[in-house]
Amino acid sequence: MPPANDTLTPMQITDEEFNLLRRLVYDNFGINLTDQKRSLVVGRLHQLLRRNGFKTFQEYYNFLVHDRSRANLTELINRISTNYSFFYREKAHFDFFQQTALPGVTARLGSKGSKDIRIWTAGCSTGEEPYMLVMLMHEYFGSQYNSWDAGVLATDISDRALTFAQRGVYPEDRVTQVPTMLRNRYFTQQHNGEVAVKEQIKREVTFRRFNLMNPQFPFKKRFHMIFCRNVMIYFDRETRDNLVRKFHEMTEPGGFLFIGHSETLDRGQGLYHYIMPATYQKI
């Protein structure tokens, strides 16, 4: 048995081992682990390897590729993916959503006699984004909310993030950007200092595990709005372009795609029209 403090000393990873894990992650999840992520990979995995008796990253890699259940591959992505978020992150998007996108979409739906609003947050992390969208729809529709089919589909690759999201309970620092009126209306203060999203909001979000690298998206209907913010920064250009093409196929004409402010679309693809930073519309 290793000394008690041995788990505190990160294991070493060779160039070959890092490249094998990098290729495995890329092929399965599209995430491009650059050389700068090497210490992150070691830092987040070494205790897992120690606990399960792997002496090298090569042994761990061999175990992963022969695990037919893929459960341990899921554990890998849970550990190396970053899932920190907070409510009202990149506020300009939420303002545009409430003031421009929602009125435009509902007007087009109304002209067709439909009340089916379809919104997808792809890479929902710990749930702040989809819950915030539902709150803003409640604000926009008011007493008429229940006459609309206006829930949100929220997907992520991380089981751990989805479990956190479904619980709907957050540390105080995650809601500091939320206006007091919305906090009072849609959150409940907990005795331990945390805040909980109210049930009327939670039941309007459907959480599902989904891999954006799936060759085909299985959705039967297109979405009026797709939020995929701060996800594509982990992908290389080819992966990003392929994903945007799939998003385009799943966006209703006139619908919107929201990406992170540190991300850009290749306008040469001609798929979306630029509206404002990180906001695009399918024409």
Average pLDDT of 258-279? Answer: 88
Q: Is the pLDDT of residue 7 over 70?
A: no
Query: How far apart are alpha carbons 185 and 236 in whole angstroms?
Result: 41
Average pLDDT of 145-156? Answer: 95
Label residue 5 by pLDDT band (50, 70, 90): very low
Task: Dig out the tokens for 112 from the structure.
Answer: 């067709």
Residue-wise pLDDT tens digits, 237-255: 999 999 999 999 999 999 9
What pLDDT sits at residue 278? 94
What pLDDT sits at residue 212? 94
What pLDDT sits at residue 83? 66
**218 with 243: CB under 8 angstroms?**
no
Query: How far apart are alpha carbons 195 and 188 in whole angstroms?
Result: 6
Residue-wise pLDDT tens digits, 44-53: 888 888 888 8
The dihedral of CA 47, 212, 274, 83: what is its sign? negative
Enter the pTM of the model.
0.84
Q: Is the pLDDT of residue 2 over 50?
A: no
**231 with 122: CB under 8 angstroms?**
yes
Query: How far apart are alpha carbons 76 and 84 in whole angstroms?
Result: 17
Q: Is the pLDDT of residue 171 over 60?
A: yes
Strands (E), the chain: 119-122, 152-156, 169-170, 187-189, 195-197, 205-209, 223-228, 251-259, 273-276, 279-281
Q: Which residue has the tokens 């682990």?
A: 33
Average pLDDT of 62-74? Answer: 85
Average pLDDT of 4-27? Answer: 78
Q: Which residue has the tokens 């939420």?
A: 94
- Spell out the domains of the chain, with CATH numbers in brackets: 4-80 (1.10.155.10), 91-281 (3.40.50.150)
**Average pLDDT in the chain:** 89
Higher pLDDT: 140 or 89? It is 140
What pLDDT sits at residue 82? 67
Query: How far apart are alpha carbons 19 and 33 in whole angstroms?
Result: 9
Q: Is the pLDDT of residue 91 over 60?
A: yes
What is the distance of C-alpha 127 from the center of its chain? Answer: 8
Label residue 263 by pLDDT band (50, 70, 90): confident
Query: How far apart are alpha carbons 185 and 160 in whole angstroms?
Result: 28
DSSP code, position 272: S
Task: Dig out the tokens for 6 from the structure.
Answer: 């041995």
Q: Is the pLDDT of residue 43 over 60?
A: yes
Alpha-carbon Rg for the chain, nearest whole angstrom, is 21
**Amino acid at position 141, single letter:** F
Average pLDDT of 88-112? Answer: 94
What is the distance of C-alpha 119 from the center of its chain? Answer: 13
Region of poorest pLDDT, from 6-10, 94-98, 110-114: 6-10
Q: Is the pLDDT of residue 4 over 70?
A: no
